[in-house]
Copies of this chain bind each other. A is one copy, B any other.
Amino acid sequence: MPAFRMNAKAILQSHIAKTTSLSDDEFDYFFSHFKPQSYKKGQTIIFPGDAVEYEYFVLDGCLKSFYQTDQGKMFILQFAMPTWWASDYEALYNGTRATTHVDCITASEVLCLSSADREKLCREVHAIEFFFRWRTNRGYVAAQKRLLSFMHHDARQRYEEVLRLYPQLYNVVPKQLIAAYLGVSRETLSRLYQP
């Protein structure tokens, strides 16, 4: 059994413990609602049009969530490296159909938590509700900063910012996906790092 499977519980626990105090019993209860899952490289977890039931906590590998136009152009909303979370949150929170894809950049191991279980856990354990509030607060602030970055930085500055914020991505993620995250063409990105 691979390391991340054996350690799934420890990985999630130390992730939670950074912000939230749960007793061992509370954490055991929390953890019992997660379902481990393996995906192959390139496998799609959420398709547009799907009913979205789960969010995914990444143990190993790397996911991306993205929107795709009719012409096949891809815009990446988020990468998800180990200890990050991913889903189509608009669909998950509103109970609507997915408008984005979530798929695997590399083979990945995740823990799945259903929206129903998340809400149940939040109702039952106040500290868990705190954790999810805190987590979204972080995501919200990060999204605002990325918006600002779109508004007042050019492609090169945004590229350098991404490398600075997420150096792990550089070795794992093909450049054309970085370009799709930055909102520029791969050709433009390729021209940024030479002159």
Contact = CB atoms under 8 A, between A and B. Distances in A.
Contacts of A123: 126
Contact of A144 (B89, B130, B133, B141): B89
A144 B132 CA distance: 18
A147 B147 contact: yes
A147 B143 contact: yes
Given A129-B133, A130-B129, A136-B133, A69 B144 contact: no
Interface in A142-178: 143-148, 150-152
Contacts of A122: 130, 133
A145 to B, nearest CB: 7
A90 B122 CA distance: 24
Given A75-B152, A146-B147, A140 B129 contact: no
Interface of A: 67, 69, 73, 75, 77, 89-90, 93-94, 122-123, 126, 129-130, 132-133, 136-141, 143-148, 150-152, 183
